[in-house]
Amino acid sequence: MKFNGIITIFTIFALFTMTIPITIHGDSGLGTEATSEISITDSRGTTTNLTQPSTHVAAFSAYITNTLVDIGNLSNAVIFDYYSAYAQSGITDVQNYSADLFITVNTANSNMVVQRMLGMVDNGTWNKTNDVILGSGYSYLSDVWTDLEDEGFKVITFYPKTYDDIVQVVEDIETVLGANHSVSNQMEYVKTFINEVLTENGIINSTDKVTAVYVSWSGSNFKLGNTGAVTTDFINITGGLNVAEDSSKATPSYTADATAILQLNPDFVLLDGNYPNTAEYFSSDVLINSDATVCKLNKSMNSYCPDAMTGLWTIACLFYPEYFNGTIPIEATDDEGDSNDMAIYAAIGICIVIAAVALVLITKRKGSKD
């Protein structure tokens, strides 16, 4: 009788052993933030605390909307800014969204924004305790954020100036929504991959690097990227030397004409995606007598969203095609290993159960013979 009791306990222990890997390796589809308090400090230095992931967010910038699409959480957005609309952003995922979901977000329209948000509180769509407004940290929007916060809304702003800052933006949005960090991790991996390849091939010192400039387009004027700008950071990360960097000139960019660009004699010109003409036109009709390779970036490639990863890889392939080509490298995951571990643990557990049951039957049979 005592032996049967021991075998029963052994069987229960075996069953418990089978469940342990499932508990450890199981994926609920949420990040670790799903079960812990969330704390985000934004571009203004304001810290927002949440007791759980947000159910709804306001996406008050196109790059935020792009990020929600890329991390698979667009459905959490219940209102967008005007520039997120398909006609302005080209984001196909919102192409069939009602025009009522988009609103102009600026100081002049601040009261209307506040009233729209209050209306969503009244109809039960918005929860002030845990839902969050996501927007840009530009100074001209500060009054809008203040007006919303005065009404009890939580606001998180972003103003990245480097690639790492963009990765952090994506990670923060993932965290707010309780999503896993697969996208931000992949963005970080691509940067690491590029750096390792450049280092392995001796692209370290300035003399080893290709030269480049970033030309932006604003108000019919060209500007050269200096320091403290996202795209010039891209140049540095991908093994380029920004020959437009000049400590005596304005940052993050300064006005320049074609003559100034020609004097810098860059190997590559990265052209703003907002430039109204083609790269070919810029090369033949603006630079005229230059051997520089001109690449017009897609509008979102140097935006504050996961598309920045595509931009970084595109520039790396442009600068060093002998080292970088093809599709973006994907970080290897441990998912397969975890699945194998689960299978092994489960198999061991099943074997233990079978052995335990067999022992019980043998014991019973022996007892009946006695």
Cβ–Cβ under 8 Å, residues 305 and 66: yes
Average pLDDT over all residues of the chain: 85
Once rounded to an integer, what is the mean pLDDT over residues 68-90? Answer: 97
Confidence of residue 356 (pLDDT cuts 50, 70, 90): very low
| Tens-digit pLDDT profile for residues 187-232 | 999 999 999 999 999 998 888 899 999 999 988 899 999 999 899 9
| Tens-digit pLDDT profile for residues 244-292 | 999 999 999 999 999 999 999 999 999 999 899 999 999 999 998 889 9
If one compares 331 and 344, the residue with the highest pLDDT of the two is 331
User: What pLDDT is attached to residue 302?
Assistant: 86
Q: Which residues contact 273 (CB under 8 A, 6 or more apart)?
A: 296, 297, 298, 299, 300, 301, 302
**Residue 66 in this model has a pLDDT that exceeds 70:** yes
CA dihedral 139, 141, 147, 148 (to 10 degrees): -120
Q: Which residues contact 25 (CB under 8 A, 6 or more apart)?
A: 338, 339, 341, 342
User: What pLDDT is attached to residue 220?
Assistant: 84
Confidence of residue 17 (pLDDT cuts 50, 70, 90): very low
Which range is least confidently modeled, 54-63, 176-185, 284-293? 284-293
Of 253, 242, 179, nearest to 209 by C-alpha is: 242
CA gap 61, 106 in Å, rounded: 11
pTM over 0.85: no
Confidence of residue 2 (pLDDT cuts 50, 70, 90): very low
User: What pLDDT is attached to residue 334?
Assistant: 59
**Residue 121 in this model has a pLDDT that exceeds 70:** yes
User: What pLDDT is attached to residue 219?
Assistant: 83
Cβ–Cβ under 8 Å, residues 244 and 267: no
Cβ–Cβ under 8 Å, residues 222 and 215: yes
106 dihedral zone (left: phi>0; alpha: psi -120 to 50; beta): beta
Secondary structure (H, E, C), the chain: CHHHHHHHHHHHHHHHHHHHHHHHHCCCCCCHHHHCCEEEECCCCCEEEECCCCCCEEEECHHHHHHHHHCCCHHHEEEEEHHHCHHHHCCHHHCCCCHHHEECCCHHHHHHHHHHHHHHHHCCCCCCCCCEEEEECCHHHHHHHHHHHHCCCEEEEECCCCHHHHHHHHHHHHHHCCCCCHHHHHHHHHHHHHHHHHHHCCCCCHHHCEEEEEEEEECCEEEEECCCCHHHHHHHHCCEEECCCCCCCCCCEEECCHHHHHHHCCCEEEECCCCCCCHHHHHHHHHCCCCCEEEECCCCCCCCCCHHHHHHHHHHHHHCCCCCCCCCCCCCCCHHHHHHHHHHHHHHHHHHHHHHHHHHHHHHHHHHHC
**Residue 331 in this model has a pLDDT that exceeds 90:** no
CA gap 49, 281 in Å, rounded: 50
| Tens-digit pLDDT profile for residues 42-58 | 999 999 999 999 999 99
Which range is least confidently modeled, 17-21, 22-26, 316-320? 22-26
| Tens-digit pLDDT profile for residues 134-150 | 999 999 999 999 999 99
- Cα of 157 vs its chain's centroid, Å: 15
Dihedral sign for Cα 157, 163, 165, 167, please: positive
Cβ neighbour number for residue 118 with a 10 Å cutoff: 16
Cβ–Cβ under 8 Å, residues 170 and 67: yes
